[in-house]
Amino acid sequence: MKLKAIIILTVLAFIAVVVSGAVAQELKGKHKENSIACVDCHKTETPDSPADVEACVECHGTQEDMAKVTEKLLSTLTIRT
């Protein structure tokens, strides 16, 4: 009985990881339109961890400039859960 519950929880946890991974790898908005590649932000063809902010700065100028870009987006943001 207890073992069964552990197996079910393990499977659910695994599915959650796979699903959230798929969401993280899907490009949206301007980056998709401008054909930005994974390697442009992640510095590797096979990313498995978050990109470094240094990559954003290469295309977007300073972090202050980045803040201005995201400020405009705040009103239209859809929070995905």
- Measured from the CB of residue 25, what is the shortest distance to ligand HEC in angstroms? 4
29 near ligand HEC, judged by CB under 6 A: yes
The burial class, CB within 10 Å (0-12 / 13-18 / 19+), for 42 is: middle
Size of the site for ligand HEC (CB under 6 A): 26
Alpha-carbon separation of residue 67 from 17, 46, 71 (angstroms): 30, 28, 6
Question: Of residues 47-66, which lie at the interface with ligand HEC (CB under 6 A)?
Answer: 47-51, 55-56, 58-60
Tokens at 9, concatenated: 């929880």
Sequence letter at residue 62:
T
31 near ligand HEC, judged by CB under 6 A: yes
Residues in contact with ligand HEC by CB under 6 A are: 21, 24-25, 27, 29-31, 34, 36, 38, 40-42, 47-51, 55-56, 58-60, 69-70, 73
